[in-house]
């Protein structure tokens, strides 16, 4: 396992866990942001669950790399979907770049898992 795999895994966990918790607890600001994107409360909760599952997979992937690979690919897909929602809502480029940046980080993590094994 490389330092880069550990760093990207921890970075993604640090970013995704608070977002997932906000979605799952019905944080008012998160509800407003998701509503702006056209995402229902039910879908918001589902996304929160998927984010937590992704983080669990990423962290467990530190011990079992195939799980880390699959989780990194799933997180990449989830974040690309977030980019699509931001584009559809015609959000500012700065807002759209955030999930895009982390999608690239998750994709890089998947690639690192493949290259390391």
Instruction: Spell out the SS3 assignment of 20-35.
Output: HHHHHHCCHHHHHHHH
pLDDT at position 1 over 80: no
Decide if 72 contacts 102 (C-beta within 8 A).
no
How does pLDDT run across 56-110, given as a tens digit for each residue? 999 999 999 999 999 999 999 999 999 999 999 999 999 999 999 999 999 999 9
Residue 117's pLDDT is what? 86
Domain ranges within the chain, ordered by starting residue: 3-116
The pLDDT of 18-44, averaged and rounded, is 96
């Amino acid at each position: 396992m490389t330092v880069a795999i550990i760093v990207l895994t921890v970075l993604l966990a640090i970013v995704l866990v608070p977002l997932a918790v906000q979605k799952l607890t019905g944080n008012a600001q998160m509800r407003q942001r998701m509503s702006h994107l056209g995402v229902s409360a039910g879908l918001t909760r589902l996304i929160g669950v998927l984010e937590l599952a992704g983080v669990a997979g990423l962290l467990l992937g530190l011990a079992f790399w195939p799980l880390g690979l699959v989780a990194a690919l799933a997180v990449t897909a989830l974040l690309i979907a977030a980019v699509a929602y931001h584009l559809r809502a015609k959000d500012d480029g700065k807002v759209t770049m955030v999930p895009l940046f982390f999608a690239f980080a998750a994709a890089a993590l998947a690639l690192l898992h493949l290259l390391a094994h």
